[in-house]
């Protein structure tokens, strides 16, 4: 859905979801990863799950395709139908889905869907690495401060004190290097 323009699309946790697997400010989606085709009742559950949020577009992603009645219902109620491939590629199954996919391709400069999806995934991983690096650096800064200034090092032999402080400083350097690398990756 992010490829289709819903950059805030978020997957719901696994479990009873009331017919919604992915939500966004402007769209809702159901994903069925089963061997049988999606049916008209599947479309009706998605439509009903939207409830009073009539401004939201409805998307259905199925592994095995759709029954004739499901497609008719989707066309009547403007539900975008796609087949979802294991690779992450989506294949439109009705006119409105084909149109939104064409629009997404124009937005992404005709790039391959999978390349755009992989780039989005890499960006998300870079953001996670950056956040993790910053948290680790801040945490280790406080640990270093406590270790160097607040512990009574005079009670330990000099080699223990020097060795411990050296290890702490090396770990600080590794964390800072990782954070700088994450920032560099995000800037790319």
Question: What CA–CA distance (Å, rounded) separates 183 from 188?
Answer: 9
How confident is the model over 12-49, as pLDDT tens digits?
A: 776 555 567 888 999 999 988 888 899 999 999 999 98
Question: What CA–CA distance (Å, rounded) separates 94 from 81?
Answer: 6
Confidence of residue 133 (pLDDT cuts 50, 70, 90): low
How confident is the model over 78-124, as pLDDT tens digits?
A: 999 999 888 778 888 998 998 888 888 877 665 555 444 545 455 55
Q: Residue 145, Cα to own-chain centre: how many angstroms?
A: 36
Q: Which fold has domain 10-109?
A: Trna Endonuclease; Chain: A, domain 1 (3.40.1350)
User: What is the pLDDT, as a whole number, of residue 91?
Assistant: 87
Compare 65 and 110 and report the one with higher pLDDT.
65
Domain ranges within the chain, ordered by starting residue: 10-109, 120-187
Q: Say what the alpha-carbon torsion angle 40, 46, 48, 53 is, to the nearest 10 degrees.
A: -140
Question: What CA–CA distance (Å, rounded) separates 39 from 32?
Answer: 11
What is the DSSP pairing of strand 57-62 with strand 27-32? parallel
This prediction has a pTM of 0.59
Question: Interior CA angle at 117 toward 111 and 123, to 5°?
Answer: 110
Report whether 86 contacts 61 (CB < 8 A): no
Q: Which region holds residue 174: left if phi is over 0, alpha if psi is between -120 and 50, else beta?
A: alpha
Of 44-53, 121-130, 136-145, which range is least confident?
Answer: 121-130
What mean pLDDT is predicted for residues 150-162? Answer: 70
Checking if the pLDDT of 176 tops 80, the result is no
Checking if the pLDDT of 7 tops 90, the result is no
Compare 24 and 137 and report the one with higher pLDDT.
24
SS3 at position 61: strand
């Amino acid at each position: 859905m992010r490829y289709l323009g819903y950059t805030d699309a978020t997957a719901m946790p696994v479990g009873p979801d009331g017919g919604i697997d992915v939500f966004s400010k402007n769209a809702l989606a159901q994903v069925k990863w089963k061997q049988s085709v999606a049916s008209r009742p599947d479309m009706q559950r998605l439509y009903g799950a939207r409830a009073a949020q009539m401004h939201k577009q409805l998307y259905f992603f199925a592994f095995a395709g759709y029954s004739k009645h499901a497609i008719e219902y989707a066309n009547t109620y403007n539900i975008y139908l796609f087949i979802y491939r294991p690779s992450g590629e989506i294949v439109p199954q009705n006119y409105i889905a084909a149109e939104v996919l064409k629009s997404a391709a124009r937005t992404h400069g005709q790039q391959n869907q999978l390349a755009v999806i992989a780039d989005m995934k890499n960006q998300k991983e870079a953001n996670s690495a950056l956040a993790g690096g910053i948290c680790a650096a801040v945490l280790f800064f406080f640990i270093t401060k406590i270790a160097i200034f607040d512990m009574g090092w005079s009670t330990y032999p000099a080699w223990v004190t020097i060795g411990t402080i050296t290890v702490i400083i090396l770990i600080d350097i590794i964390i800072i290097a990782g954070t700088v690398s994450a920032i560099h990756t995000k800037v790319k």
